[in-house]
Amino acid sequence: METSNIIVQKFSGVTVGSAKRMRKVLQLIKNSNNNSDLIIVMSAISPKKKIHGTTSKLIQATKELLVKKATHSFEILNEIEENHINILNKLITDNEELRLETEKRIKEECNALREFLKALEIIKEITPKSSDTILSTGEKLVGIVFTAYMKNEGIDTELIDLEKLITDVYDDSLIDTNFYLKTLVPKLSEIFSNCKAKVPLVTGFIGSFPLGILETIGRGYSDFTASLVSLAVNAKEVQIYKNISGIYSADPLVVEKAYVLPYITPEEASELVFYGLKTINPLCMDIARNQKIRIKSINNPDNPGTLIGPCSDEYKNVKSTVVLIKKDVLIYNINCRKGSVAHGTMKKVFDTFNKFGIQLDLVSTSQMNLSIALSNDVDKLDLVTTELKNIGKVSIRPHMAILSVVGRSLKSQVGFAGRIFTALADNNINIHMISQGQSEINISCVINQESKALALKCVYDLIYTDEEKKE
Ligand SMILES: Nc1ncnc2c1ncn2[C@@H]1O[C@H](COP(=O)(O)OP(=O)(O)O)[C@@H](O)[C@H]1O
Ligand SMILES: N[C@@H](CC(=O)OP(=O)(O)O)C(=O)O
């Protein structure tokens, strides 16, 4: 199918976190609209950091509903409501009718949620579907405020609420790539072909999943929505606007010399998100192999940022190695009772972690030990240990970090892993586990968390001098 002239612009919560930032976003939309057709996807407002944003507050309100009283969750909701009305009041100052009508819609949305929370308190049960309904409010509210603002600024827009996009799906096993591509994408195509507005605004929340949107898609779900929308309209590209200019060669807060990579492949992006990069939702890579996704900064929109997409000749020789640290990891070690790690043992161990929904980051085996690196904030690790007690003696080593080097250029560098480990050893950094996938675009190892900054800097220096020498 031929690519359309549409660009999907997705704005993350922090980029629309205040009236000032919304003005910036509006200007950007106006400028882009001169050259392309646009569809806007917007995430719930995050004042500064995502952990203090609307979605995080709604998650807190949901969790506290059954532990504390609904009145406590109402306080959280009052704060959210007030914040949206304050922003609206700053944005629409010259059209009282529109301002009042929009304020009414915000209040209606929040009142509906209050009624819903009261009902949940009475039935004392929160299902994934109800928790999704609560979360959807964040994206609805930002949509209500921003479409009113766009209208007031003369942009022909319409709010498209995707809360009800998924219907009659009660079984999680039905949610797979096929479901996204064959069910959701055609539904979205139909919605857009019926939409008359010049610049539609779509809620980043895409509907209730049997296990809940956070379990199925994860935080940053609006990136995924933007990818589906892009497939539905065959867009030229998806632009994901953030506070940061793109994907850097290393964390710019730790490595001063780090720079924004112009291009990475979807495979590299998948590895990076797996090893802790939060810049893009991981599922986008699964459905968007042939799409162009560009991470850009709201503060510097003329900068092309980082493109993730098919590797054309233009990008073949572009450097794209990233050194990444995933902190707050632990090593879970099982010293097997039978004296060796049999394949039945591995099955039991992996099945048990899977049963409790725990993601494993790195695995290594020796004759008697099975070592697994995983995030230290997982619930239910003690339940796993109880189930595995017949397999062997479990010991846990906390305060670890995973250092990963990701890049397609690693494939051609014989002896590269050896040089990384030598550089770490020269800096007195102990390596607890090592892993290299068959794809050879990723080398990872587990180190003590306290050495993370030193490890990042010394491996970065090694890689970037090595890559420079190759050129
Ligand atoms: N290689 C990397 N590229 C970009 N950001 C990185 C990288 N490694 C670590 N980070 C950190 O990830 C964070 C980016 O956060 P993100 O959630 O993408 O942005 P936003 O807050 O705009 O949503 C930054 O704080 C940055 O320091
Ligand atoms: N609001 C959701 C979805 C999202 O995509 O957020 P953001 O664009 O701010 O990463 C979240 O906080 O997870």
Per-residue pLDDT of 178-210, as tens digits, reads 999 999 999 999 999 999 999 999 999 998 999
Ligand closest to 324 (CA) is 1
Residue tagged 């209500």 (tokens): 144
Determine the distance separating the centroid of ligand 1 and the alpha carbon of 278, expressed in angstroms.
6
CA distance 403 to 324: 6
SS3 call for 471: coil
Pocket test for ligand 2, best of 22, 48, 50 (most atoms within 8 A of CB): 50
Is the CB of residue 273 below 6 angstroms from any atom belonging to ligand 1?
no
Please give the structure tokens belonging to residue 225. Answer: 């929505």
DSSP string, 295-334: EEETT-TTS--EEES---GGGTT----EEEEEEEEEEEEE
Give a yes or no: residue 188 inside a domain: yes
Determine the distance separating the centroid of ligand 1 and the alpha carbon of 184, expressed in angstroms.
30
Instruction: Report phi then psi at 267, rounded to 5.
Output: -65, -45
Among candidate residues 201, 223, 243, the one where a domain is terminated: 243
Determine the distance separating the centroid of ligand 2 and the alpha carbon of 140, expressed in angstroms.
13
CA distance 421 to 193: 55
Which residues, 6 or more positions from 155, have their beta carbon under 8 angstroms from its beta carbon?
A: 26, 29, 30, 33, 198, 199
Nearest CA, atom 23, ligand 1: 242
CATH number at residue 437: 3.30.2130.10
Determine the distance separating the centroid of ligand 1 and the alpha carbon of 234, expressed in angstroms.
28
CA distance 28 to 35: 12
Is the CB of residue 51 below 6 angstroms from any atom belonging to ligand 1?
no
Same-domain check for residues 205 and 341: no
Per-residue pLDDT of the chain (471 residues; tens, 9 = 90+): 677 889 999 999 999 999 999 999 999 999 997 778 999 999 999 998 899 999 999 999 998 888 877 888 999 999 999 999 999 999 999 999 999 999 999 999 999 999 999 999 888 889 999 999 999 999 999 999 999 999 999 999 999 999 989 988 888 888 999 999 999 999 999 999 999 999 999 999 998 999 999 999 999 999 999 999 999 999 999 999 999 999 999 999 999 999 999 999 999 999 999 888 989 998 988 877 788 999 999 999 999 999 999 888 888 888 889 999 999 999 999 998 766 667 678 888 999 999 998 989 999 888 788 999 999 988 889 999 999 888 889 999 999 999 999 998 887 777 888 999 999 999 999 999 998 877 778 999 999 999 999 999 999 999 988 666 554
Ligand closest to 323 (CA) is 1
Is the CB of residue 157 below 6 angstroms from any atom belonging to ligand 1?
no
Domain count across the chain: 2
CB 457 within 8 A of CB 254: yes
pLDDT digit string, tens, across residues 316-334 = 888 889 999 999 999 999 9
Pocket test for ligand 2, best of 55, 146, 203 (most atoms within 8 A of CB): 55
Radius of gyration of the chain (CA): 24
pTM: 0.92
Among candidate residues 243, 265, 292, the one where a domain is terminated: 243
Nearest CA, atom 16, ligand 1: 279
Is the confidence metric ipTM above 0.90 for this complex?
A: yes
- What angle is formed at CA 152 by the lines to CA 150 and CA 155, rounded to 5 degrees? 45
Instruction: Report phi then psi at 432, rounded to 5.
Output: -95, -30
Give a yes or no: residue 250 inside a domain: no
CA distance 212 to 170: 11
CATH number at residue 221: 3.40.1160.10
Q: Look at residue 135 in the predicted model and tell me its pLDDT.
A: 96
Determine the distance separating the centroid of ligand 1 and the alpha carbon of 283, expressed in angstroms.
18
Determine the distance separating the centroid of ligand 2 and the alpha carbon of 43, expressed in angstroms.
5
CB 204 within 8 A of CB 139: yes
Among candidate residues 217, 243, 269, the one where a domain is terminated: 243
Task: List the 362-365 sheet strands across, edge first.
Answer: 362-365, 369-375, 322-336, 392-406, 442-448, 431-436
Give a yes or no: residue 316 inside a domain: no
CA distance 241 to 301: 8
Nearest CA, atom 8, ligand 1: 251
Q: Containing domain of residue 152, as a range? A: 6-243
